[in-house]
Amino acid sequence: MIDANGYFDWMIQDPGPLSKTNGGVNTCKMVVPHSAEGYWPYLQTLLHSLDRRASWMFSNLKDGRCFQHYSIYAQVWGSGSGYPNNNGVMWENEGVAGEPLTDEQNDNNIRIIREVSELNGWELSRPTSPTDTTATGYEHSECVRWGSEYTACPSGRIPWDLYLRALEEDEMAERVWCFDRQQTWIIGKFGAAPVLTPDMDAPFVALYGPHTRALTGAQLDAMKPK
């Protein structure tokens, strides 16, 4: 969840220098995930160096830790020109070209995009042409349309198709109550499955909201994947 000041409740807070922002309020109209082209010790040094004009909101590490350096409402210096810096939520994904993101990194990226898009009322979409400025998901290399210098970043590391599928499945899922077993179930594109403990249900409550309907165990068993 994102609080009123633009901070995620599940990230590790690691503030960056306040001087490395434009000072205005980011509109959060889009997301721009980057490839860090380096690893956490290097990222820490770069972020806190006042000699380098580089800053970003989050560092998404290979081991699943995600550090937040600035609010989503900060205008950081990561995407190469004014428009994407002032209107885009952007972050660095630890690793280098040729190195696929880990499952943990992809899970974090999907969660970031989901929570930012829900908060701001848009759905993830990709540009359909080199001049399309109406999409909500861009790469650093695609920010040349706003005047950014060309870069290879993110070097083919962002699996957009995976993210689009995951977010589409979110929209198709619902949280239901199995009244004869006193248990929550999730019904989605690929069938139905029980939520085994109340602790496991917490993320689904945040994601799908209250139960949409009540069904029997037999009805839900029939929906399980074959």
Q: Which CATH superfamily is domain 12-167 in?
A: Peptidoglycan recognition protein-like (3.40.80.10)
pTM over 0.85: no
User: Average pLDDT of 176-189?
Assistant: 91
More confident residue, 173 or 136: 136
Q: Is residue 226 over pLDDT 80?
A: no
pLDDT digits (tens, 9 = 90+) for 27-48: 999 999 999 999 999 999 999 9
Q: Is residue 90 over pLDDT 90?
A: yes
Query: Shortest CA distance to 165 belongs to which of 114, 221, 224?
Result: 114
The 3 state secondary structure assigned to 167-206 is HHHHHHCEEEEECCCCEEEEEECCEEEECCCHHHHHHHHH
**Residue 22: HSE in the Cβ half-sphere, 13 Å Cα cutoff:** 23
The sheet carrying 174-178 orders its strands as: 191-194, 183-188, 174-178, 214-215
pLDDT value of residue 70: 98
What percent of the chain has pLDDT above 70? Answer: 98
Structure tokens at 165: 């599928």
Domain boundaries defined on the chain: 12-167, 173-221
